Amino acid sequence: MIKTFELDNTPFIIGLTAHPDLECTQIPQLVDTIVSFLLELKQFLPDTHVRIMLDPCGDVSVAIARAALALDMSVDALIGAPAEDQPTSTESSETLDPLSHPRAQRIDVTAGKSSAAQPAFSSICADILIRRSSLLLALWDGSSSSVP
């Protein structure tokens, strides 16, 4: 069996995380800053496939996913599967919109079957972002989060 390989660099994966209660008035500025950074990165890495990996549940994450897709980048969206004892939440059409794009990939995240205590989705997401990202960006609006 003969395998053929594309002449393509390993993707440069940017992990994106933010606290869940970012100040709404700061979101446009955060998105503009990330877009400027992504444009600059594309200039430095013109032959490298850049991917954004994020949890698309927050407004800023959805806005950045849309911006990255508009810049011809790919998006990996970490989606948490509800636990068996938790009700299934209905996702808004705004959250799902970026995921319907051809360059968006949905990655279902589950804790696995074990008798041990299951880590929270945010903890699993953080672990995936830390392990899989070439660069990890943590967005902050200058205010402490009121969410634990």
What are the tens digits of pLDDT across the range 114-131?
Answer: 555 556 777 888 889 999
* Nearest in space to 140 (alpha carbons), one of 26, 5, 7, 59: 26
List pLDDT tens digits, range 97-106.
Answer: 667 888 888 8
pLDDT of 7 reads: 56
pTM (2 d.p.): 0.75
In angstroms, the CA 63 to CA 84 distance is 30
| pLDDT level of residue 3 (50, 70, 90 thresholds) | very low
The average confidence (pLDDT) of the chain is 78
